[in-house]
Structures are given as C-alpha cells and as structure tokens.
Structure 1
C-alpha cells in the first residue's frame, strides 16, 4: 500500500511578516546611525608651525577647543565637524609673543575672540584616511581649508564605556589669507597646522 505524500505547506502570511521584520531589524543594526561626539578639550590640540627667518620653526598651540564631530562609519560622506578655537587658549610658551599674537598686528583678539572651522565635505580615502574640506574663519575672513585626516581609533572608552573617537589631521594655509601676514615672507607666510583630537558621545539617558 502506497503512502500519500502531503504537499509542503506554503509559509503563512504571519510567518512572512515576522521574517520581513527580523530582516529589517538586522539591516538597521548593520547600518548604524551617525554618532555625534563632543570634542574633549583636555585631549585636543591645534598646533601652528612656521619658519622664522630660516633659523627656527616655532609653534603656537590653540587649546580650550570646543566643538562636535558627527561620524558615520557606513556613509563617511555624511560625517561633519564643527570647531571653535578661543584665542584665549593660544599659547606659544613665550608670554610676550602671545600678547603680540593677540594684538591688532595679528589676531586682534579683543575684536575677534575666536576662530571657527565648519566642514563642507568629508571624503573617504580608504584605510582610515579622510579628506575634510571646510570653511576656516579668522578675523571675519573665511577661506577654504583642506584637512588630511586619519581615524586613529573608534571604540568604547575604557573608563566609562562611552563611544569615543580620535583623529589626527594636518593642513597648510597662508596666514596672509587671513590678515595675519605681518613679516612675510621673511617669516614664512605658509603655516602648517597639526591637529589631534579625542571626542566622546554623550552619556545615555
């Protein structure tokens, strides 16, 4: 006597719906949303370096940096950075020179107390390298500056488990483009910027 073989049951609409929801959830997890990080001024430094009469290459540091970094690992072009540099944090380790940098010959810090940078485009160059194009404003003069950046690390911070990110970046600019050209070209017009920064996501509610 032959046994009858029952045909396979078609998946129910309920099962199909559950599967679709599970797939959507898995996709959402795989494509993480952009994260906004707050710059940590205690672990951020912007260093300007120039040549002095061919004899030396002094530096000045811009501390007390404030700003945010939005980073999207899945879509790097959606990332952005916004930074404020208070000139009160400028430090060349020479007090008399710091006073000169803040007066009207250079930054005129009483009138223009901060410099700002706001990105306009972020390009993924591969291998954790980024090209960050943005608008740098000093003394109400805005010029386009390109940062060559490297993602140092993105991971939970070992002290508080918050998402944390770190970058190093470099850029070259002409100080005369920002009304800071006193002494050029004997003192080099070109200035190299070196930036290192660490930023943390806000604490979860």
Structure 2
C-alpha cells in the first residue's frame, strides 16, 4: 500500500512538471538580476585536430560563475566563468592525466581557467557576440564567443528561474603557451559551452 502511495505521488509530480509553461526564447520575458552557474547542468566541451585524422574531443566540468542579466539592455550584461583545470576529461585515462600535467595545461601551477566579459554585442533577438578576457595557462588574451539563448523559465523540479545559453568559440592554444606536439596536434581549440544559470534571490 505504501508503495502504491509513493508511486501515486511520483506520477503526480511528473504530471505537475509536464504542466509547466515551456521555456521561452524571448529575452523580454526573462527577469533581470544575478544568475549563478548551475554546475550540474553546465558543460564545457572542446575538440582539436588529432594529426589531421580525427577531431578529438573532451570536456571540463565543475564550472562556476555568475551572469548579470539586463534584458532591456542586453549590452550591459556581465559574465564571469571559472573552470578548474583538474576537471578536464577524455575517453583515455592516460591522456587525461597528461593534459593535467606541466607539458599541457599544468593544473598544478595554473589550477583555473577564467573568462570575464568585457563587451556584449547583441546580434539578433536571441544571439550575441560576447568578448572577454580568457586566462589560460597563466596567459590572458581577448576571446569572442558566439552566444545563443536556448531557453528560459522556471525549472519544474527545483522551481528556480533558469536561463540556458550555448556559446561557441575558437582558441589558439599556442597563444596561451600550450605548444606540445604542434603541429601534429592542432593549434585551434574549438570550444562549446552549454551553460545553465539559476536566478539568485
């Protein structure tokens, strides 16, 4: 009997979640304020040419950061992202360990990558080019990301106002002092960031 009652509650919860208003892609409907990265649902992916044979991919996790949103004035938005180098991962345990080492990202000396926006240029209703200072391997250089609004609304599970973006960009690792195996391993590091942000009370 208890199992049946539990199942009923679960189904009711699912039904309530399904009844929620779907996410919007209209920036005008997004509340202004401070949003924090949801680390459980934010991913940073990368890929690089492996000797011209494949585009090898990996990722980072445990991302943190904040987003100051002003939908009525998109250009005034501010973004800060922090990525721990130790979170790098690939499908090869050996390679993952190598990437953390001093020949590559040198996580012991430079434990964190950061991106701090300096300019937001709207490029349509749900697109923008976000330029900022990327610090990687102890070097800081400007990088521009193409950002797309994926959706915003109240998360039906935790009831928090959530906004999600996808950002893409290309970084030349040699410009940040990461030159191991060039040119066998490509210089262009293609980044894709699936970012989820929750509104802070």
Please state which band the TM-score falls in when normalised by the shorter chain: 0.7 to 0.9
Candidates 97, 110, 113, aligned match of 1:112: 110
* Per-residue deviation, 1:100: 0.7
SS of 1:196 mapped into structure 2: strand
Residue aligning to 2:3: none
Residue aligning to 1:145: 143
1:163 to 2:161 alignment? yes
SS of 1:159 mapped into structure 2: coil
Residue aligning to 2:88: 90
Residue aligning to 2:78: 80
Residue aligning to 2:125: 127
Larger radius of gyration, structure 1 or 2?
1
Unaligned runs of 5+ in 2: 1-27
> After TM superposition, what 4+ stretches of structure 1 lie above 4 angstroms from structure 2?
30-33
Residue aligning to 2:62: 64
- d(CA) in 2 for partners of 1:31 and 1:91? 36
1:49 to 2:47 alignment? yes
**TM-score, with length taken from structure 2:** 0.82
Answer 1 or 2: higher relative contact order, Cα 8 Å, separation at least 6: 2
Structure 1's 171 and 128: CA in aligned 2 closer, same or farther, altered over 3 A? same
SS of 1:126 mapped into structure 2: coil
Aligned positions, number: 174
Unaligned runs of 5+ in 1: 1-29
* Per-residue deviation, 1:158: 1.7
**TM-score, with length taken from structure 1:** 0.81
- d(CA) in 2 for partners of 1:74 and 1:115? 30
Structure 1's 110 and 161: CA in aligned 2 closer, same or farther, altered over 3 A? same
- Contact kept, 8 Å, 1:65 with 1:83, in 2: the verdict is yes
* Per-residue deviation, 1:56: 1.0
- d(CA) in 1 for partners of 2:181 and 2:167? 27
* Per-residue deviation, 1:87: 1.1
- Contact kept, 8 Å, 1:149 with 1:167, in 2: the verdict is yes
* Per-residue deviation, 1:162: 2.2
